[in-house]
Amino acid sequence: MPQQHEDIARRIIDESLYMVLATADATGQPWSSPVYFAHAGFTRFYWVSSPEVTHSRNIATRSDVGISIFDSSARISTGQGVYLRARAVEVTGEEITEGIDVFSRRSLSHGGVAWVPADVQGDTGLRFYRVQVDEHSILAKDGRPDHRIPVQFS
């Protein structure tokens, strides 16, 4: 059964374009934002944002985030989602090159543009962000409301 759970999570992540990023400010005030994402190995997720937007300012203050990835077009009571607990950071230095390559490949595969490190540095108004996932889970389909099953990626 665990492999089946991992397969479900992989499919949802691969088929989704956006993740909902839940952040909080220093006082605990919550904020959520949908962001286009790319991932590396289902444990690192990347996105591009302005450092001035609420979720980016929140990450600068509090790195713990929650993420939901799901098909919003699923019929009522039939949907499945992936839920992540993670730590977010602004990516800097040499790590930008590796991460932006992952992001660019996914962007191109979805009809977007190619990205290079210069696009998220200097005075562009954009920065590159990453989460490292601490915990993955999916919903159990056993009739219990919001019962989650941990998923381990091998």
Kindly report the backbone phi and psi dihedral angles of residue 90, in degrees, each rounded to the nearest multiple of 5, phi listed first.
Answer: -80, 130
pLDDT 10s digits, 49-74: 999 999 999 999 999 999 999 988 88
Domain CATH for 121: 2.30.110.10
Number of domains in the chain: 1
Domain coverage including residue 25: 2-151
Q: Which residues contact 29 (CB under 8 A, 6 or more apart)?
A: none
| Confidence band for 75, pLDDT divided at 50, 70 and 90 | confident
For residue 42, is it left (φ>0), alpha (ψ between -120 and 50) or beta? Answer: left
19-46 average pLDDT score: 97
